[in-house]
Amino acid sequence: MAPTRRQFMQRAPLVRRLPAELQRRLAGLVQVFLHEKNFEGCNGLEVSEEMRVVIAANACVLLLGRRSDFFPHMGAVLLYPASWRVRQVMTDEMGLEEQVDEENLGEAWERGNVILSWQDILLDCDHPDDGFNLVLHEFSHQLDMEDGTANGTPLLPPALARDWKRVMSREFEALRWVAQALDEEGDGPDEWAWEPRPACAAHEGVLDPYGAEDPAEFFAVATEAFFEDSARLRERHGELYGLLAEFYGLNPAAWP
Ligand SMILES: [Zn+2]
């Protein structure tokens, strides 16, 4: 017998951690998401029901405790079998142009489409608490962009806005110091940003130094840690955890 949608949802470790009541609520959200959003396979990938459900389940966790629309500005989910290479022309400080090949596993920008690599989502399913979750990362960019700009500040209730600015800028600056220190050790974000599971454990931090790129990446990285490394985030970055708990309306550190 073919697996049911509920069984597919259980393949996402984050879903397995949810208390029963939230699992039920999530099932409802997933149903709407799958009804509303289109998926397109790229590079010959045929999008299966399992792929759609695992992506929808992870993405809808972000909506579980919020009263919001279903990522109203997003286009389709474009799914690649694995990470893809992008060739970009970069200009250095001297004004010289250089071609750079980059490994890409997810994007949230292009015409509102969310672009994902299935291979990396599977990796996330195998490593539920390493602080990385591609789907959470890209869809938190979607939340961030609901006000029209990707700047690390999504639409906020007024009561949250002041603390948001204060706590987020302080934490962002702190992470920039960490990233810079790692960079000086010759182990900077550029070198390992696209390694499979660079492991925050390397610097024993909770937040991936990739978040030091800019405030938008910081919000995405903090969201990943909030759901995947909740207890440590609460312990070491209490205010940041509290802010995200209020924003997402969830307390994942209390889940099993
Ligand atoms: Zn990002």
Side by side, the strands of the sheet bearing 114-117 are 39-41, 77-80, 114-117, 106-107
220 CA to centre of ligand 1 in angstroms:
6
Quote the mean pLDDT of the chain. Answer: 87
47 CA to centre of ligand 1 in angstroms:
23
Write the CB contacts of 204 (distance below 8 Å, at least 6 apart in sequence).
Answer: none
20 CA to centre of ligand 1 in angstroms:
30
140 CA to centre of ligand 1 in angstroms:
9
What letter does residue 111 receive in the DSSP assignment? G
Query: Residue type at 90?
Result: M
* Whole-number Å distance between alpha carbons of 146 and 155: 7
211 CA to centre of ligand 1 in angstroms:
8
CA distances from 136 to 38, 69, 141, 225, 246 (A): 18, 16, 9, 10, 17
21 CA to centre of ligand 1 in angstroms:
30
pTM here is: 0.86
3 CA to centre of ligand 1 in angstroms:
32
CA distances from 238 to 95, 151, 244 (A): 43, 22, 10
Query: Residue type at 65?
Result: G
The per-residue pLDDT for 69 is 86
190 CA to centre of ligand 1 in angstroms:
14
198 CA to centre of ligand 1 in angstroms:
15
Which residues of the chain, if any, have pLDDT below 70? 86-90, 100-101, 105-106, 108-111, 186-203
Residue 99, H or E segment: strand 97-104
The per-residue pLDDT for 65 is 95
Domain boundaries, the chain: 5-254
The three-point CA angle 168-172-174 to 5° equals 120
Write the CB contacts of 56 (distance below 8 Å, at least 6 apart in sequence).
Answer: 30, 33, 34, 37
The per-residue pLDDT for 234 is 96
CATH dotted code for 5-254: 3.40.390.10
